[in-house]
Amino acid sequence: MSFFDDLALSLERNRITRRQALWLLGAGAASLSGCATSPVTGKSILVGMSEAQEVQTDAQVAPHQFSQDLGAIQDESVNRYVAGIGQRMGVLTHRPQMPYSYRVLNANYVNAYTFPGGAMGVTRGILADLDDEAQLAALLGHELGHVNARHAAQRQGQNMVAQAAIAGLNVAAQNSDWGGLMSMGGQIGASALLAGYSREHEREADALGQEYLVKAGYPASGMVRLHQLLVSEEKAAPSLLQTMFSTHPMSSERMQAAQAAADSRYRISNSLDARRERFMDSTASLRRIRPTIDACKNGETAMAARQYAKAQTEFQTALAKTPRDYASNLRMAQCLQAQGQTAKAVSYADSAREIYPQEAQAYKLAGVLALQQRDAGRAYQNLDRFDRLLPGDAGITFLKGISLEGMGNRQAAAQHYVAYLRQSQQGNAAQYSYNRLKAWGVVK
C-alpha cells in the first residue's frame, strides 16, 4: 500500500499518525517583461516584470512570507519607529513613488529582506543586534537599494531567458509545438523572489544604501559598522546567520568598499550623529527580551538539526523569560509535535492563538494537530480561520480538503482538491489530490 493510500485509509478511520501529520504540514506549505531603463543608472536592463507587476507581486506574495516569519511584532511603537526611518529614507531614493512599507517581524534569525515593490521585513533577531540608528538606516538603505535598482525584476528577467532557452531545447528535441511556452513565468513564488542576489547586485545595493543613508542625515560609517557587525557574528556563530548570508552574501570586500566610500566620498558625513540614544530608547522594549530571542534562535538551530530535546530546553528557557511571547509558544508547539507529544503541543498552539489572534501560523499548526487528534471538524475551523486571515495559500486549500475528507464530506473535499490542483500540479499534495479525485470518479 502506498503512502497516499495509507493516508486515505487513515482519514476514513479518523486516525492520522504523527508521520502523516508532519507530512501534511510540509505538503500544506504555500506555493506561490522585457527591457526597461534602470532608475539608478539610466541604462537598459532586462526585467521580468513591470513596475505595476512589482507592486502586485508584493500584495500577493509578501503577506505570506511575513506570516511565515510569524508576522509583525506586537509592539506598535517599535514598528512605528522603524517605519518612520524607512519612510524618511524612501522619499530620498530614485523611486520615491513606490509604496514602501516596513515592519519588524517575530522571526528570530538574523535577516532583512524586501519584495520588488518595496514591502520590507526586518527580523527582531537582527534589530536586537544593532547598536544605533545609523546602522538601522544602513540596513533599510541596503534593502531600498535592491528595490531602486530593480534587482528582483532583473533576476526574474534573467530566469525567464534561461527558462525560454531550456524550453526551446525541449521543444526542438520533441518536435512539438510551442504551446508549452505560453504559461512560462506565470507564477512567482516568495522563494524565487528572495533567492540570493549576485555579488554585483549586493555591491550596488550597498552603494545605493550608503548614498540614501547620508542623504537622510546619517554618517556613512553606519554602513561600515553594519557590515562589521554581521561579519563578526558570522564568524562567531555561522549557523545562526545562515539565512542572512545565503540571501545577502557577505565579504570583506564589501565591508572595505563601504569603508573606502566613507573615508572619501562621504567623509564629511562621518561627523554626523549616529543617534544611538534615540535608537536605544526606541527599541528598549525589544532589547529587554533579547534573552528570549537568543533562546528561540538557539532552539530553531537545534530543531533544524533534529536535536529536539535540546530545542525544547531552549524554548522552555525562552518561555520562562517571556511567557506570552508568540514565537516562543508556537516554536514549542512545533517542537513537541515533532516529538509526538500532541496534547502538549495543542496547549502551546492554543496559547499562541490566544496571544496573537491576528497572525495565521498558529491556526495552521492547530489544524494539523486537530487532525492528528481525530477531530477533523476542529481542524477545518482552524484552517478556515487561517484562510480568512491570509487568503490565497494553496496549501491551506489542500489541508481543508483533507479535513473535509476526514469529516466524510467527500463532495466538498473534492472541490478543494480540484481548487488546489488549479493552483499547483506538482508535488506530493498534488499527487494525493489527483489520486483521490480519480478514486472518486471525479476525473478519469
Least confident of 17-26, 131-140, 386-395: 17-26
Model confidence at 115, pLDDT cuts 50, 70, 90, reads confident
Q: How far apart are CA 55 and CA 285, in angstroms?
A: 32
Which domains occur in the chain, in start order? 51-151+197-269 (no CATH), 288-440 (1.25.40.10)
Grid coordinates of 145:
537599494
Least confident of 140-144, 245-249, 256-260: 245-249
pLDDT of residue 214: 97
Question: Is the separation of the CB atoms in 313 and 298 below 8 Å?
Answer: no
How much of the chain, in percent, has pLDDT values that exceed 90?
A: 61
Q: Is the pLDDT assigned to residue 380 strictly greater than 50? A: yes
Residue 271 amino acid letter: S
Grid coordinates of 109:
534569525
Higher pLDDT, 286 or 232: 286
Average pLDDT over residues 350-378: 96
How, if at all, do strands 119-123 and 101-105 pair?
parallel
| 325-341 pLDDT tens trace | 999 999 999 999 999 99
pLDDT of residue 330: 97
Q: Is the pLDDT assigned to residue 405 strictly greater than 90? A: yes
pLDDT of residue 28: 63
Average pLDDT over residues 216-245: 77
pLDDT of residue 409: 96
| 119-156 pLDDT tens trace | 999 999 999 999 999 999 999 999 999 999 887 766 65
| 282-309 pLDDT tens trace | 999 999 999 999 999 999 999 999 999 9
Model confidence at 179, pLDDT cuts 50, 70, 90, reads very low
Radius of gyration of the chain (CA): 24
Q: What is the mean pLDDT of the chain?
A: 83
User: How many C-beta atoms surround the C-beta of residue 249 within 10 A?
Assistant: 13
Overall residue count recorded for the chain in this entry? 444
Grid coordinates of 283:
527599541
pLDDT of residue 426: 82
| 86-101 pLDDT tens trace | 999 999 999 999 999 9
Question: Is the separation of the CB atoms in 15 and 378 below 8 Å?
Answer: no
Q: How far apart are CA 148 and CA 434, in angstroms?
A: 43
Model confidence at 53, pLDDT cuts 50, 70, 90, reads confident
Least confident of 57-61, 80-84, 335-339, 355-359: 57-61
pLDDT of residue 172: 31
Torsion angle, alpha carbons of 251, 208, 248, 293, to 10 = 110
Residues 6+ apart with CB under 8 A from 21: 337, 368, 369, 371, 372
Q: In 3D, which of 76, 70, 7 has the Cα closest to residue 349?
A: 70
109 three-class SS: coil
Question: Is the separation of the CB atoms in 363 and 386 below 8 Å?
Answer: yes
Q: In 3D, which of 417, 392, 315, 337 has the Cα closest to residue 25?
A: 337
pLDDT of residue 423: 86
Q: For cell 484552517, what's the residue?
A: 383
pLDDT of residue 243: 47
262 three-class SS: helix
How much of the chain, in percent, has pLDDT values that exceed 70?
A: 76
